[in-house]
Structure formats: structure tokens, C-alpha cells
């Protein structure tokens, strides 16, 4: 299987400040990858570059076997094989159905096809009863489940999750985690997840990536990194100490 993401010397700056500098990073296909690190370590910046929402200032980025040249056509083609769920998912004005159907509509899928797929996706996340509900009136947990349905209806090769459960209660978070695992196991979707929650990363991740001040300081199999971190800063982070 091709490596879905290859990063070489990727640098991102905001004004003059360097916020991300990754020498080399490869994300394996079909696994759940957790990106961990303290606030301001560049986790979301890294995620947004890989999701092609943010242009890197330097370096070479390969996504799904293609060197990214940021042409309109290429970006659209690559983005259509990926999807994303963020911390506080934005819901478009309209029904839950409208929201879940959105990505399929942009791909010009037939209305009957959309109907079938939306029904399936909402059933998967246990939201069938909410199909006609106003998406703006959903609770935090329901909103995240609708966002998961909206992303998984597209059957993406890659699913990005940016703190998908940080604003919801534990019961809803557990349910979302169950869906994340199911998507990965049933379809082999590569999942790249930014999380603050170490326990969540332990429960879900196959591979973990630690960032610190914009640099990759450790990467490896989850069980190894959690049990025997090589970098002292990772160890301190895992012990719950503040890392400087």
C-alpha cells in the first residue's frame, strides 16, 4: 500500500515566526495515527497542511502518491479522497440531511444515490431519527455524530480528526471513538487525529507522533511510545508535566 503522506523538510511560518518544521514524516496507510503535543506545538498546523487547507512555505509534500503542486485541479482531486471532522464542527444552515448530503452533492452524485448513502451513514452513527432536524439545534454530541456521518458518507481514504471529542461529554465521546474504530477497521481508512487526550490516544492509536515547539520529537508504535518514550520531553508530557 502506498504511504498516503510523505513530508520532507516542511516549514510553515506565520509572519516571521516558524510554527512548524518537520524534517521527515511518513504516515502509514490504514492505521489510526495520533498527533500529540502541548498547546502551540503545531499539531493543527501539521494537520491542516496534510489536509491541503494550508500551504507550506518550504519542503516537499506528497499526498496519496502525488507530489503536491497546489494546482486547483490536483487539490480538488486529492481533497475528494479525504475528509475532516473538527472540534466544533460547523453545520451548514439546513437539516441534518442537507449537511450529510453536502459532500455527495458537490460530487454530483444522483439524488437517489445520495438518499441511500445518507440513510446508511446516519444509521451507522445512530442519528436516523434526526434526518430532518435543524442541524443548528443539535447538542454537542449529536453535532459531532452528524459531522462524523457527513465525513464517512464520502467513504474517504483518509479521515482527519481535530480534537473530535474535546467539547463533548464522556458518553458521547465513547460513542464517537467507537465509530472512529469502526471506520478504520471496516474500510481501512487512514485516520489522522489531533488530540489532547492521552487516554484517547492510547485507546485508539496504532501510531503516535509527538510534536514540540513545531518539531517532531518522537514517532512510533503507540504501545512502545507510551511505555518507553525515548525523548525526555515526550516522557514529561506523558507524566503530565508541563513541557517547555
Partner 1 sequence: MDTILQGIKEGFYLILQMDAEIIEVTVLSLQVSLTALILSALIGIPAGAASALKKFPGKKLLLNIVYTLMGLPPVLAGLLVYLLLTYRGPLGQYELLFTPAAMVIAQVLLATPIIWGLTARAVMALEQNVYDTAATLGASRRQAAFTLVREARMGIIAALTTAFGRVIAEVGAVMLVGGNIRWATRVLTTSIVLETRMGNFSTALALGMILLMISFLINLMIIMLEKRTFRYDNTIQIT
Closest CB 168 distance from partner 1, rounded Å: 17
| Closest CB to partner 1 among residues 82, 124 | 82
Judged by CB under 8 A, the residue of 89, 144, 195, 200 near partner 1 is 89
Choose the stretch contacting partner 1; rule: CB under 8 A; options: 4-12, 75-83, 184-192, 200-208. Answer: 75-83
* Nine-digit cell string for 137: 439545534
Residue 164 interacts with partner 1 (CB under 8 A)? no
Residue 139 interacts with partner 1 (CB under 8 A)? no
Buried b (16+ CB within 10 A) or exposed e, 173-206: bebbbebbeebbeeeebbbbbbbebeebbeebbe
Dihedral, 152, 156, 157, 162 alpha carbons, nearest 10: -70
Judged by CB under 8 A, the residue of 10, 19, 84, 194 near partner 1 is 84
**What DSSP character marks residue 95?**
B
Choose the stretch contacting partner 1; rule: CB under 8 A; options: 15-23, 38-46, 79-87, 167-175. Answer: 79-87
List CB contacts of 243: < 8 A, sequence separation 6 or more: 38, 212, 233, 236, 237
Closest CB 225 distance from partner 1, rounded Å: 28
Residue 61 interacts with partner 1 (CB under 8 A)? no
Residue 118 interacts with partner 1 (CB under 8 A)? no
Query: Cell 506528497 appears where?
Result: 62
Quote the Cα angle for 200-201-202, to 5°.
90
Choose the stretch contacting partner 1; rule: CB under 8 A; options: 25-33, 86-94, 168-176, 231-239. Answer: 86-94
Choose the stretch contacting partner 1; rule: CB under 8 A; options: 20-28, 33-41, 82-90, 191-199. Answer: 82-90
List CB contacts of 33: < 8 A, sequence separation 6 or more: 27, 190, 191, 192, 193, 205, 206, 207, 208, 209
Burial label for 112, CB within 10 Å (0-12, 13-18, 19+), is: exposed
* Nine-digit cell string for 174: 465513547
Closest CB 53 distance from partner 1, rounded Å: 6
Closest CB 204 distance from partner 1, rounded Å: 20
| Closest CB to partner 1 among residues 20, 101 | 101
Judged by CB under 8 A, the residue of 8, 80, 119, 203 near partner 1 is 80
List interacting residues with partner 1 (CB under 8 A): 51, 53, 72, 76, 79-80, 82-84, 86, 88-90, 92-95, 102-103, 106-107, 134, 136-137, 150-151, 154, 160
Amino acid at each position: 500500500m502506498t504511504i498516503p503522506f510523505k513530508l520532507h523538510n516542511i516549514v510553515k511560518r506565520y509572519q516571521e515566526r516558524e510554527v512548524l518544521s518537520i524534517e521527515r514524516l511518513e504516515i502509514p496507510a490504514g492505521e489510526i495515527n495520533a498527533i500529540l503535543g502541548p498547546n502551540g506545538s503545531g499539531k493543527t498546523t501539521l494537520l491542516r497542511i496534510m489536509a491541503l487547507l494550508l500551504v507550506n512555505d518550504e519542503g516537499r509534500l506528497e499526498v496519496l502518491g502525488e507530489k503536491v503542486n497546489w494546482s486547483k485541479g490536483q487539490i480538488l482531486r486529492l481533497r475528494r479522497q479525504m475528509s475532516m471532522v473538527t472540534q466544533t464542527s460547523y453545520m451548514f444552515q439546513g437539516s441534518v440531511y442537507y449537511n450529510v448530503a453536502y459532500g455527495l452533492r458537490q460530487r454530483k452524485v444522483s439524488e437517489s444515490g445520495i438518499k441511500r448513502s445518507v440513510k446508511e451513514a446516519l444509521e451507522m452513527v445512530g442519528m436516523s431519527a434526526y434526518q430532518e432536524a435543524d442541524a443548528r439545534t443539535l447538542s454537542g454530541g449529536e453535532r459531532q455524530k452528524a459531522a462524523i456521518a457527513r465525513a464517512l458518507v464520502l467513504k474517504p481514504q483518509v479521515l482527519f480528526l481535530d480534537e473530535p471529542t474535546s467539547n463533548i461529554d464522556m458518553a458521547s465521546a465513547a460513542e464517537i471513538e467507537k465509530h472512529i474504530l469502526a471506520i478504520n477497521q471496516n474500510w481501512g481508512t487512514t485516520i489522522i487525529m489531533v488530540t489532547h487526550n492521552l487516554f484517547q490516544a492510547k485507546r485508539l492509536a496504532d501510531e503516535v507522533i509527538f510534536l514540540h515547539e513545531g518539531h517532531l520529537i518522537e514517532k512510533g508504535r503507540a504501545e512502545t511510545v507510551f511505555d518507553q518514550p525515548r525523548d525526555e520531553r515526550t516522557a514529561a508530557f506523558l507524566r503530565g508535566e508541563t513541557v517547555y
